[in-house]
Structure 1
Amino acid sequence: MALTEVLILVLSFLVLLAIGVPVAYSIGLSSALTLIISMPSITAFTTLAQRMATGLDSFALLAIPFFVLSGQLMNRGGIARRLVDFAKVLVGPLPGGLAFVNILACMLFGAISGSAAAAASAIGGFMGPRMEKEGYNKEFSAAINITSSTTGLIIPPSNILIVYSLASGGVSIAALFMAGYVPGILLGVALMAVAAVYSMKRGYKGDSRESLKEGLKKFLAAFPSLLLLIIVIGGIVAGIFTATEASAIAVLYTLVLSMIYKEVKIKDLPKILEDSVLTTAIVMLLIGTSMGMSWVMSYENIPQEVSNLLIGLSDNPVVILVIINLILLFVGIFMDMTPAVLIFTPIFLPVVTKLGMDPIHFGIVMVLNLCIGLCTPPVGSVLFIGCSVANIRIEKVLKPLIPLFITMIAVLLLVTYVPDLTLWLPRVFGF
């Protein structure tokens, strides 16, 4: 590994980010500059373009535009409101019940849509004004919405777990989906515990308990939306269809459901498709340039050198995993999730597998790490969306975010060092 190439790759990337160049372009340009040192410029640009195209040539990646489209349909199809109503029946009467409703609704909507941004926008837009009207602190409400929105990236179906499967060289998507349930639910419950303490200190009361008839009515209204989880995950686990085929089924199902709810009309579809295409284009450009950078790092032998360096620091798995977690937490502050997974999986996966860590377990740990980064300035996309929806400045929400950050890190450590939390469910289903 030539030190010059490594310095050019890292420093050019950081400088480009610092001057405001979008992440995808920063990744592509820094990769090109690094290759130019090692080979003629024409060859470097041609090679990088080929690697970007090859990186996108994957059947599994077809799932991403379909899940993006189904998420857009859910966001506009009245599904969020029905999930909030159902969550209110379950946890609304508890002290601080609206905070619990926010968290549970984000978990359900995020899991169904596979998007933290969609959950923060849809649930935050609906719950924020309601919580403020009931006397909840506006900053606290926004902080709850921001952190709980990330649970949908761990609870399947999840686009980022599909990306990890690609970056890891083919770890089973179905196994990753099964592995995400317990850590995702654990994170949601931990956030509820923080909300409960905060609510008791502030004296927030619960809503009045719904009658059995009203509760059943709201459950039946939400049931078709919840059924999507059973169809998608059940079909994948049973081997009826692949994750990619499941994503197409999710689009068809949510389209029909939105039409039945009369929330989406034919005239709305061009705008929904346009938004989905724009989001998909951004994600795919990030994936393409990140796959290019991954190849450049492999060409420069960086993953092997980092692996040797970390193993040389200590042979204690606890110490190595602490170092990797700290690096990923730091990376998550400055880099979006998709490129982070594509770039750092080839670096760290060989290290943890040498330590005997299951690739499925590491995938959940990595995603959980980067979920924390989504809530962290300066590049936390969910933080920006949550603050925008709540109409509040970022610095105002940082104080109530601190105990929630600490809780997320505590869950991360628990998931890291107790592998059975992640691997138990995949083993039950034979993965």
Structure 2
Amino acid sequence: MTQPRQRGPLLGVLPWPERQAISEALRTETVGGLVLLAAAVVALVWANSPWSETYEQIRDFHFGIPALGLDLSVGHWTADGLLAIFFLVAGIELKRELVVGELRTPATAALPVIAALCGMVVPAALYLLVAASGGGSLAGWAVPMATDIAFALAVLAVISTHLPSALRAFLLTLAVVDDLGAILIIAVFFTSDLNFWALGGAFAGLALFYALQRFRIRGWWWYVPLGVTTWALMYNSGVHATVAGVAMGLILRTTRDKGEKASPAARVSHLVHPVSAGVAVPLFALFAAGVGVSGAALGHVFTDPEPLGVVIGLVAGKVLGIFLGTYFAARFTRAELNPDLAWADVLGLATLAGIGFTVALLIGELAFPDPAAGEHVKAAVLAGSLIAAVLAAVLLRRRNRVYKQLWEEEERDEDADGIPDIYQTSTRSSSSG
């Protein structure tokens, strides 16, 4: 008798092995980066297609949680809500690098922080110079200051196969400091009303979160409700809600106690990373990248002072600020460049930081509420981010080939005598810049 063929559930839950395989794939930055970039492309095509009204209706559809005082559009839920998951993972990784990783040495950790600060000041100064010389508005000074950490890491993940891990750690630290600086700017200069009671409640929630970690309290039923409440309070305070995600990631313990197989930070990262890479960040990109770009708007990008200032700030300002800030900090202070990195790597990284995108678009909307001016600035952010991404891809792919060649030479050395030639490796690395 023929056995009936078993069918998989339609739109149901995948079998456990398949779910495990997808989760492991999404834990790799290359796969997550490709999903993110694909979502951004879909958003841009959809928003500029005959079905753009459908896109806008879905993005602007409101629903809320009255108990938490929230009534947000789908676009805001993805930007302020789901993106907090990504920043939680980013905060965990940053904490791990600071405690047990590449950035545990203060002199090494100081360098990307200084670079981030210089990478915010110089683009703002260049914007002011271009806008003032052309008789334009100075209101958009903060637009080119922000690096989009999600897109920058995605581009780096797609490009990199042999680049040093220290490069990603440098970018992560730089981008987190940059985003926190941009969020602080939004709170101070572009927030009309701060709710200090809600802000105090958010800080109280973070303090309780720290206490639970300190006293080794375990159980998701403690942390999930506390995390959601803290996020909601941070949102209602007027401060960008993703700050709560970064803060909780930095609070989670990254060192193992005796008898623990993994630290709380490692466990949370392992569970949440696939959700971040496969759901949160792609959905965020889908509703953030859908910017309608008309031919008229693109025509104003390189002629009007405000859009031109944004493009120059993102493309030239970020490179000058980050690279020169890093160089002078390493030259005249105790800060040190990671020995695994060459100055050519820093140049590629500084160019990659010109991808402003999400936070830059947000600041552009706040600085230019007029629809016509806002459309031109949005087009400038897209153009500047695209130029920066292409230039960074060219530079970093060249560096990737250099490191790949070094890796292949080391493999041949090991095959020849069975012992890695450490002296030759370090000599090549120091001369590769």
Q: Which of the pair has more CA radius of gyration? A: 2
What is the TM-score with the length of structure 1 in the denominator? 0.27
Greater helix share, structure number: 1
What is the TM-score with the length of structure 2 in the denominator? 0.27
